[in-house]
Amino acid sequence: MVYRGKPSPGCALCRKRRLKCDQERPACSQCLRIGQECPGYQDPQALRVYNQTAAVTTKALARAASTRKAARSPTAEKSKTPPLIAGPTNIQEQAMSHIFKYYVGTSQNPGILCYLPDLLRTGPSDALQATMKAIGLACMSRVYHLPELARSAAEEYSKALRATNTSLQDAVSATSDSTLGAVVTLSMYEIISGQSQMMAAWLNHARGALKLLELRGTKQFESAAGRRLFSSTRLQIAMINIFFRTSCHRSPTIAALSKYAKSVGDADAQTVEDFYNILVTFNDHSIKVKETYNNTGFRGNIAPLIKEALDLDADLVSWATSLSPTWQYSTTSTPLPFSHVRSHDTEYHVYPSIDNAVYWNHYRQARIILHEMIQAMCLHQATPDSPQIMHQSISINKQLAEDICASVPYFFTSGEAALGAVARLPWPLYLASDCAGVSPQTKDWIMQILDLIATSTGVQQARILSQFVKTGNHSYLLIPGKPKRIVDI
């Protein structure tokens, strides 16, 4: 009989893998993360004293047999270096670990996919798990230069699509948090893999997610994961819809659900709703601007559209200046080295959280797009005020571009989950590089950062956009009336 001190109460799988077990019910987070059935927890009191006779005997016999076998062998086989990834199971475990490390984060430092553990705990669907593995494998294939993992990622992606389609055929599973989470997370795969039809596939996932939001009704606000999914899904669609100008944001059901979300949300949720409402108005404005433009220029009097755009910009500024202290960032002149890339400026931003940093850059890129439209309209229809409006607009965009650049070090120096959040940086950086008044040095720095994002995180959207900047593939196709080059005034 042996007294073993205080034994671990964790599950057998966590003890075997030498991991800390959080002993959540009905299953621990570590087992959920790798998609294994949790074997349950030990009773610490019952394990303090244990008869180890049988265990010691077994170990001794095994050791003796091993010694005899080694003695009979004329030559000992040289040990081989174990492969980086030992087998299919280990590959998938590592892929899931990658997602948890860089995209889920911790309770103290949550990542951009922080809702995944709740979804795995309450409804670990095949679709969601395959989606997570696809993203993890796609990232690892690029970061570690292992093309065979890209093939595995594509296979998991196909599994995720099939499983998602199956879930959508059932009325109950179609409205579950897990199914929506799978659809939303699938859009991340498009950004990371960087396929040729990346944006078209992303839009398909986004539109599918929007339909699910409508089907889920007010019940989706009963869980923290449901509320987070509702907010983030709408915001991403509203941001990208500024460019693609569809009418999906005009859904009466989504409008009613948004109003309900604001009534039941906390102060932060209401801040997000206020921002979303401005983006919806921006979406309508963007459609009107596009409808007045053809290959020969803008039709009719567009002065009201310019005024409407300036009013929208004032609304965005008002939203930013009214934010509570918990949303405010600070500026530091302390160097924040994070790579071989030279420093961009002497001042950098420090944010309260990853979410805050992402929202601030959403705000900045929304204003950049708005001012690109203002500049394009002023160029096509000159008025006595056009030169002054152009000058102010260019100055504003130049500062917004500098602010996006100043946010970059925070993502690279604030932990693993912040590094995963750089997946939200390529598009703001690309737009910043194409602003009138931005120096060649700043453009060069942005190209280097986009390349760094691609190599350090595997997000291939960054590599594609870096090539756009290098080859002069500008965003003029996304802005009605924007010329290939805008000359400073």
pLDDT at 313 (0 to 100): 97
pLDDT at 209 (0 to 100): 86
pLDDT at 445 (0 to 100): 93
Longest C-alpha distance within the chain, in Å? 99
pLDDT at 486 (0 to 100): 42
Query: Quick one: angle between helices 386-413 and 354-380, nearest 10?
Result: 160
pTM: 0.78
Q: How far is CA 463 from the centre of its chain?
A: 16
CB burial string 204-220: b at 16+ within 10 A, e below: ebbebbbbbbeebeeeb
Which residues, 6 or more positions from 454, have their beta carbon under 8 angstroms from its beta carbon? 142, 460, 462, 463, 466
CB burial string 71-91: b at 16+ within 10 A, e below: eeeeeeeeeeeeeebeeeeeb
pLDDT at 416 (0 to 100): 82
Neighbours of 181 (CB within 10 A): 28
pLDDT at 4 (0 to 100): 44
Which residues, 6 or more positions from 159, have their beta carbon under 8 angstroms from its beta carbon? 126, 130, 134
| d(C-alpha 465, C-alpha 471), whole Å | 10
| d(C-alpha 11, C-alpha 41), whole Å | 5
Residue with tokens 């005034």: 489
| d(C-alpha 372, C-alpha 297), whole Å | 15
The partner residues of 331 in beta bridges, in order of sequence, read 349
pLDDT at 70 (0 to 100): 45
Q: Are 363 and 321 in contact (CB under 8 A)?
A: no
Tens of pLDDT along the chain (489 residues)? 333 445 678 888 888 877 888 888 778 888 887 778 888 876 655 444 444 434 433 443 344 344 444 444 444 333 333 344 444 457 888 888 889 888 888 888 888 888 888 888 887 788 999 999 999 999 999 988 888 899 999 999 999 999 999 998 888 888 999 999 998 888 888 888 876 566 677 777 777 888 899 999 999 999 888 999 999 888 888 888 887 787 777 889 999 999 999 888 888 888 999 999 999 999 999 999 988 988 778 888 899 999 999 999 999 999 999 999 999 999 988 766 666 666 677 788 999 999 999 999 999 999 999 999 999 899 887 778 888 999 999 999 999 999 999 999 999 888 888 888 898 999 999 999 988 888 999 999 999 999 999 998 889 989 999 998 888 766 556 777 776 654 343
| d(C-alpha 443, C-alpha 401), whole Å | 10
pLDDT at 44 (0 to 100): 57
Q: Are 191 and 202 in contact (CB under 8 A)?
A: yes
Cα torsion angle, 247, 248, 250, 251, sign: positive
Q: Are 271 and 327 in contact (CB under 8 A)?
A: yes
Give the dihedral of Cα atoms 143, 149, 155, 161; nearest 10 deg.
-10
Q: How far is CA 327 from the centre of its chain?
A: 19
